[in-house]
Amino acid sequence: MMRNIFLGFIRIHILHHASEGEIFGVEMMDELRRHGYIISSGTLYPILHSLAEDGYLTRRDEVVSGKVRKYYKITEKGIDALKDAKKKIQELTEEVM
């Protein structure tokens, strides 16, 4: 159960950072690690891909140092989802804490 809860937190965290500017996988792994989430690329990249497939993020590819780096940014659908999530987080925090 805790894994599912944390995966939800990670998705919200990704949307938050994508709302501030473009993000890419390694950068997000480092950011999440700073917040105590130890996440493997085998977990992160499928989350990024699913958020893009579901229309919450857009993706563009760029060659960096000979490798293709996938950059993601938030869509309008993602912005709406993030706003809804923030409201729910606020309600939950007020009730639980």
Q: Specify the CATH number for the domain of residue 58.
A: 1.10.10.10
- What is the reported pLDDT for 1? 82
**pLDDT under 50: residue ranges of the chain:** none
- What is the reported pLDDT for 40? 92
Measure the CA–CA gap between 73 and 71, rounded to whole angstroms: 7
Q: Are the C-beta atoms of residues 68 and 62 closer than 8 Å to each other?
A: yes
Helix (H, G, I), strand (E, B) or coil at 66: coil
Measure the CA–CA gap between 14 and 69, rounded to whole angstroms: 17
pTM of the model: 0.91
- What is the reported pLDDT for 4? 86
Q: Which domain holds residue 68?
A: 2-96
Domain count, the chain: 1
- Judge residue 57's burial from the number of C-beta atoms within 10 Å of its C-beta, 0-12 exposed, 13-18 middle, 19 or more buried: buried
